[in-house]
Amino acid sequence: MIEAIAMAHGWEMQHDANVVVIGQDVGANGGVFRATAGLQERFGKERVQDTPLAEAMIAGMSVGMATQGLKPVAEIQFMGFLYPALDQIVNHMSRMRNRTRGRLTCPVVMRMPHGGGIHAPEHHSECTESMLCHIPGIRVVCPSSPARAYGLLLAAIRDPDPVMFLEPVRLYRAVRQEVSDDGQALPLDVCFVLREGNDVTIVTWGAMTIETLRAAAELDSLGVSAEVIDLATLSPIDIETILESVAKTGRLVIVHEAVRNLGVGAEIAALVAERGLYDLQAPIQRVAGFDTVVPLFKLEQDYIPSAQRIIDAVQNTLADQG
């Protein structure tokens, strides 16, 4: 997936002179995960800038640059280091358009590695997308494959408003896929149905699509047909697609790596409980990270929801005949 991300940067910088890349080690080093590899050689030190070590600065500078019509694509080295930048995101990036009645805008993309599973050190396995999704005025996007990473990143850069782009670290190297560098963006604000099914709807995103699809395959062999939906844009939520699926299957399981309490799954469950209650034939189930701090890596596999947990949750909803 990492190559697809670098490719999307390259395409858009080639076609839009206003796109500028900033962040820690994005230049000569090409990013700690190599997401910006080769860009500085290609586009120069003004358009691909290594910044000093300060996240609030990266976000605040992005706001200032964007109000002048540039399109900053800023890398935050890991999601666990985003927090110093939240003030600028909540109080300015997400509000500048509204505050000035459209006079000044913030077409900014903030990219960051998301989630765990690669035996990284402390603070390198965060999934705090909820904190971002709760902020009005920004979009939050999380790709689940190289092709979607390429198409959604292009869409994010082209979007006239701020987009938080969360890149699942487990997919950076794991998933390989031929992606044609055709500059075709994918739509924001919509889900992708990864697998059709009739017995249960499973909504997930990012790296958890892997365990979920594995679970779906195994369920299939057990005669259970699961529909798997990749949320893709975590805010705003494309609830229509989910409601249609639930209307068909009557059962909903939500899977995410983030802690359960106020994870994005909570909003999905709430929307379905408000608007799709009568379609539900069994209680909604959330399979999520535990409501605790992501453990250091010796236990991370015990923290990240497993395919088995997903399978059991599906079996429970099916067993439940009300």
Partner 1 sequence: MRTVAEFKIQYRQVLDPQGRIVAALPAFAADTDEVLRMYRAMTMARVFDAKAMNLQRTGQLGTYASCLGHEATHIAVGAAMAAEDILAPVYREVGTQLWRGVTMREILTYWGGDERGNDFAIPRQDFPWCVPIATQTLHAAGAAMAFKIRKQPRVAVAYIGDGGTSEGAFAEALNVAGAANLPAVFVIVNNGWAISLPVAAQTKAQTLAQKAIAAGIPGMQVDGNDVFAVRQVVAEALDAARLGRGPCVIEALTYRLSDHTTADDASRYRSEAQVKQAWELEPLIRVRAFLVNAGIWDAAQEESLLRSCAEQVEAAVSAYFSAAKPSTDAMFEHLFAVKPAHLLEQRATARKYGTKSSGH
Ligand X SMILES: Cc1ncc(C[n+]2csc(CCOP(=O)(O)OP(=O)(O)O)c2C)c(N)n1
- Cα 79 to Cα 11, 92, 131, 296: the distances in Å are 25, 19, 11, 16
Q: What are phi and psi of 306, to 5 degrees?
A: -95, 165
Say whether 27 sits in a helix, a strand or coil. Answer: coil
Residue 277: is it exposed, middle or buried by C-beta count within 10 angstroms (0-12/13-18/19+)?
exposed
User: Between residue 177 and residue 196, which ones bind partner 1 under the rule CB under 8 A?
Assistant: 189
- When the beta carbons of 146 and 263 are compared against its own copies, the nearer one is 263
Strands (DSSP E) contained in 39-118 are: 48-50, 71-75, 109-114
Q: Applying CB under 8 A, does 61 fall inside the site for partner 1?
A: yes
Q: Which is nearer to its own copies, 49 or 281 (CB)?
A: 281
Pattern 66-95, binding to ligand X, x per CB under 6 A? -----------x---x--------------
Q: Which residues 270-309 are close enough to bind its own copies by CB under 8 A?
A: 270, 272-275, 277-278, 280, 282-286, 291-293
Q: Report angle CA 246, 263, 115 to the nearest 5 degrees.
A: 110
Q: Which is nearer to its own copies, 291 or 312 (CB)?
A: 291
When the beta carbons of 36 and 130 are compared against its own copies, the nearer one is 130
Out of its own copies, ligand X, partner 1, none, what residue 49 binds, judged by CB under 5 to 8 A for its kind, is: partner 1
**Residue 23 contact partner, candidates partner 1, its own copies, ligand X, none, CB within 5 to 8 A by sort of partner:** none
Return the residue of 98, 177, 184, 198 that touches partner 1, per CB under 8 A.
Answer: 98
Give yes or no for residue 134 binding partner 1 (CB under 8 A). Answer: no
Residues touching partner 1, count (CB under 8 A) = 82
Q: What are phi and psi of 278, to 5 degrees?
A: -75, -10
Q: Which residues within the stretch 12-31 sit at the binding site for ligand X (CB under 6 A)?
A: 24
Instruction: Count the neighbouring beta carbons within 10 Å of the beta carbon of residue 298.
Output: 8
DSSP characters over 100-136: TTTSS----EEEEEE---S---TTSS---HHHHHTST
Instruction: Let me know if 134 is a catalytic residue.
Output: no
Which of 14, 184, 198, 308 forms a contact with partner 1 (CB under 8 A)?
A: 308
Q: How far apart are CA 204 and CA 201, in angstroms?
A: 10
Contact 316, 305 (CB under 8 A): no
Q: Which is nearer to ligand X, 92 or 139 (CB)?
A: 92
Catalytic residues: 124
Name the site residues for ligand X (rule: CB under 6 A). Answer: 24, 53, 55, 77, 81
